[in-house]
Each structure stands twice: as structure tokens, then as C-alpha cells.
A and B are shown apart, each in its own frame.
Chain A
Amino acid sequence: MSFCRRFSAVLPGIAALALAGAAHAVEPAAPVLPTYTAAYQPQTKDERGIWMEADEDERVLRDSVLLMRDEGLNAYVRQVLCREVGEDRCRSVRLYIVEVPQFNASMAPNGTMRVWTGLLLRVQNEAELASVLGHEFAHFELRHSLAGIKARRDAASLAAWIGVLSAGAANIGTGGAGNGSTLQLAVLGNYFKFSREQETAADLLGLQYMAKSPYDPAAASQIWQSIMAEADARSVARGLKPGREYKAAFFGTHPPSPERAAYLKAEADKLGKRGELRAQEYREAIRPFLPRLLAAQIRSNDFGGSEYLLQTLSATEGWTGDLLFARGELFRQRGNPRDLVTAADLFRDAIAKGYANPEAHRELGLSLMRGGQEADGKAALREYLKLKPDANDGNVIKMLVGS
């Protein structure tokens, strides 16, 4: 509660919100942002400790093989953050894109922001990306990690969490003696369990950034709606009850909840501002990386969640070759007889739409052969060999073709 006292002056209504949830009316969000202290330096012994740790983590992170180093992509994501929080605040951030297919972003107290590629795959437009990055920046500005240092979870919790989201990493260390979890937190980002009050405070300060930014504040609620819908689709496909993932707080640091989506929407409405979504700009910027992000998602053995994501992505710009190909892969990997038929249709669609990647012919051929359509399958595989004469699997495919 000391937290609420400290910040209620800056963010009217937080205390009420945090205590009572969205059911109660709250004061309109303040139109002005709190004054931002640039180049903040740690003040206490505890704070200096977590900064030193964060600096050490950043050195490891900079060398990580999981970093997406593309300059254009990094500059673009940074630009979205800067538009959201303003140039002043943005200057204190060093942003890193880490190749992990789950939905997450985090910010360390020394100004290191980590954006997982799973987030980039899931947001539909710049405004949604901005709202998540803004929320993380708000935790940073409010220095929540210091308050949360005692509640910080260990690698085992993080593993359990991402394990649930993708698949069984709960006991990730298999280095012999079943020695628990040794996830590289330096790379993945430390895992703070923020209190509900802190979450609400970060949400509301995030909305204030949005109010000042060119972006549409409605996006803040929208992204949580899609994350919940995806979680439901995953559960249903696995024969589980929808709602279990987020109700059971499996989401770790940032549990989505219907309440959260609701109060974000209510607060955004109060701002009375309609901004830009910039969906088309977002699609263009992500397009070169989309096949890679999709491939990682498709191979995460999450049929329901992947199918939901593909349907959502196609709603923005229709079924592009990239999306059709990825969906074909999704069905081919599940591999039921009917899935193989669907997969073949999808690869054919992709090819008909001018999808130029020779792999489409390979995957079409393999789907057909596996489904028992030998002649058509071989024809597609021959086409693949023709289009990619130096394929690294040339001998394997030639064997299947029988030449």
C-alpha cells in the first residue's frame, strides 16, 4: 500500500482501481505525464545491487546467439517505443530483440528492454506494440523492479511459465542429474512478479503515454483480448477448458484477465481520443521476418494457438503466401489423414498466389506422398528439385522421387 500512497498523487485513481477493480468508477486519467527524470542513478544499496546485476546481464545479452540483430528491425521497434513514450524517455532505453516465440517484453532497472519475437508475431499493429512497450517502460519509470526485488522469481518459475505456454520446459535442465532450471535469465530477462497494484499503475501510466502519442489508446485493451482468445483456442484444441491459462495465472508477470481488458478499455474511452493503429506500416515492417517468426510458432506444437494466430494475421491483409505456407506446415505436422489433404490444398493455394519459395513444392509433395497420392507427390517433389537444384536435402528427395 505504500506504493499506492507514493504514486496516487501522480496517477489519480490507481488506488481505487487496484482495490476495487474495474467495477467502480474512477477519476479521469490526468492529462499530463509525471515529470521524467532522465539519467536516473541508483540511490540505495539495494538499488545499486540490482543495477550491477542488470549491467552484468546486459553484457551477456549483447553476445547472445538469440539476439535478432537486424538493424532495420531494431530501429523500427525502437521508433515505435519512442513515438509511444516520447524522445526524452526513449533515450534511456537500450532495446534488444530476443528470439523466443512466446509473448513477452520486459525492462530491467538499468534501461535494458527485452522484446521477445513472440510479441512481434502477436501484435496486429504499431499501437498494440506501443501499448505493451509503454507498459514495460512504465514499470521502469515507476521503478517497480526495486519494490519487487523480494518478489522476484527464479529460473524455475520462468521455465514453468514458458513451459506452459509452449510445452514442458518445467524441468528444463537435463544436464545429467535432473538439476532443475538454469535458464539464461541474462538473455531472457529477469522475471519479476509485480503486484496487482503495480500492474494497474503501469497500465494507467502506459495509457497516459498513449494519450500523448499518435497511437490509439484502445489498442491497450485489444492486445489483451487477443492474448486471451489465443489462450482459449490453445486450450480448446488440447481438449481443456477455455480460460484456464489466464485464470490460473499461468501468464506469470502479466496475467491477462477480462477485468484488465475491461478497465483498460474504460480508461481509454475516457481519454476521448482516437489515434492511429498503423496496421499496414506494421505489416510492412515485419514482413521480411514473418516466415521466421511463423516457422518457430508452427514448430512449437501448439495447433490451436497457431491456428488462431494465422486466422488473426489473415484478417489484416488476407491469406498471403507466407500465411498459407505456414498454415500448410501446421496441418502437415499434425499429420492426420484429413490434415494432409488440407495441407496439400494450402500449399497449392500458396503456389497459385505466386509464393515463390521452392519449399512450397517440397511440402506439397511430402503431404501428397504421405497421404498416399504418389504420382502427384512425386511431380511436386521433382518441381522442387528443379527450382532448387542445390537443395541440401537433394539426395533424400531424389530417393523419394525414385531417381
Chain B
Amino acid sequence: MMKNAFAAVCAVSLLSAGAASANSLVAPGAHSGVAKSSIATTSTGEWNKLSRTDGPGVEVWTRDGDSLNKVSFFGGIGGGLPIYRERNKKEAPLPKVTANMLLPDIPVLLESTYRSQYQVNKFSLESQDIVTIEGKQAIRFTYSFVRSDDEVERKGEAIGSIVKGKLFMVTYEAPAIYFFDKDLQDFRKMAETLKF
């Protein structure tokens, strides 16, 4: 099973490599204006910024293809908006950000969005804690989930906050086998230098 899942992910990643030419390199160092917002961070090592956008307020970085490792920046999604572009607004609307959301509502919004957008039928929120970003409180949470398209168990780690009624969030997700641990430390360094 593990082998199968692994092969499935790798097959997907080959596909994404085909489109990699349109993506752009993210060099190590300080970055600002991430996801066309006030998000700033300092990265170590190289990443690729996907040219594909999953929504107007989303920017995705990856190393080996976004099915293998994926850092998503959500740059100030306003009240009444979904975090991703809705593929079928009428029949399949996504949950919306609300300005009065509390920190514990953020993981719920992510889960509910994933269940709809990615046909995720298994999602578990594993830990939640408080961190401070520039003196403002944010929620840091870890989770795992399985999408119905490849049945690969993925782990995620995220930091989110509501700033002036808008959602700011950064997530790191990768298959639980091998990939998650591979880039976790690099993600954590980025998270430590994060500004919303």
C-alpha cells in the first residue's frame, strides 16, 4: 500500500514537472509582498513559486511539485470570501471567511474547504497552540488528511490569524512518508520570520 501510494504521488509529480517551466524560482532570502499582500518571510534554500493560482489571495511554493511539498500563503482573505477560487459557485459553494472569526475557527474553515474542494473525507486536527507574530496572536496547528484523488496520507502544519477582519495564513503540507519531514525545518524557519 505504501509503495502504491508513493508511486501514485510520484506519477502526479511528474505531471506537474511538465508545467514547471512557467513557475518562477524563489531564491533564499527575504521576501515581501507574498500573495500580493503584507505577508513577508525569509526562506532558506530554493523554492519554486507556482504560476498557477488557486485563488486571488493565494500563492503556492513547492520544491518537488505541490503534491510532494507545498507551502501556501493566504494573503488577507476578506470577510465573505472563500480561501480558494470556487469551481462551481452555484452547486458547490465554498465556506467563507467571516470578519469576526476566532482563532479556533481557522482550522475548521480549512477542513471544511478541503472537504469540498479536494474531496477530503478524512481530516484530523492534531494539535493547536498560540504563537505570536509581531506581537499579535495567531494559531499554530498541525493536521493530517487524505484526499480521495490519491489516498495519500498528508501531514500539515499551519499558522493563521485574523488581522483587521482578514484571514492571513501559511500552510505547509506534504505526504507523511518521507516528504513531510524533509522540508519541515525549512518551513519552520520561514514561519519564525513570518510577518502578516
Q: Which residues of A contact B (CB under 8 A)?
A: 60, 63-66, 99-101, 159, 162-164, 166-179, 181-184, 187-188, 238, 240, 250, 296, 299-301, 333, 335, 366, 369-370, 392-393, 395-397, 399-400
Contacts and interface: CB of A to CB of B under 8 A. Distances in A.
A400 B103 contact: yes
Contacts of A370: 100-102, 105
Q: Which of A169, A175, A399 has the most CB of B within 10 A?
A: A175
Contacts of A166: 92, 115-116, 119
B65 A176 contact: yes
Given A164-B88, A166-B92, A187-B151, A66 B122 contact: yes
By secondary structure, the A interface counts as loop
Nearest to A181: B149
Given A163-B119, A183-B119, A393 B104 contact: yes
B: interface residue count bin? 35 or more
A395 B88 contact: no
Interface of B: 1, 4, 8, 12-13, 15-20, 50, 52, 54, 65-67, 86-88, 90-95, 98, 100-105, 108, 111-113, 115-119, 121-123, 125-130, 137, 139, 146-151, 153
A178 B52 contact: yes
B108 A333 contact: yes
B15 A177 contact: yes
B122 A168 contact: no
B137 A175 contact: no
Of A99, A166, A178, A301, most B-chain CB atoms within 10 Å: A301
B28 to A, nearest CB: 23
Given A238-B93, A333-B112, A395-B129, A176 B16 contact: yes
Nearest to A392: B127
Contact of A159 (B52, B90, B119): B119
A167 B104 contact: no
Contacts of A159: 119, 149
A144 B12 CA distance: 33
20 contacts: A66-B122, A100-B148, A163-B92, A168-B117, A170-B87, A172-B119, A172-B149, A173-B149, A175-B67, A175-B149, A176-B16, A176-B20, A188-B148, A238-B93, A299-B123, A300-B112, A370-B105, A395-B130, A396-B130, A396-B139
Contacts of A188: 148
A241 B90 CA distance: 11
Pairs of residues from A and B, 9 with the lowest C-beta to C-beta distance, nearest first: A176-B16, A167-B116, A167-B92, A175-B12, A168-B87, A168-B92, A177-B19, A63-B1, A393-B128
Given A65-B146, A167-B94, A296-B115, A184 B102 contact: no
A301 B118 contact: no
Contacts of A169: 92, 116-119, 148
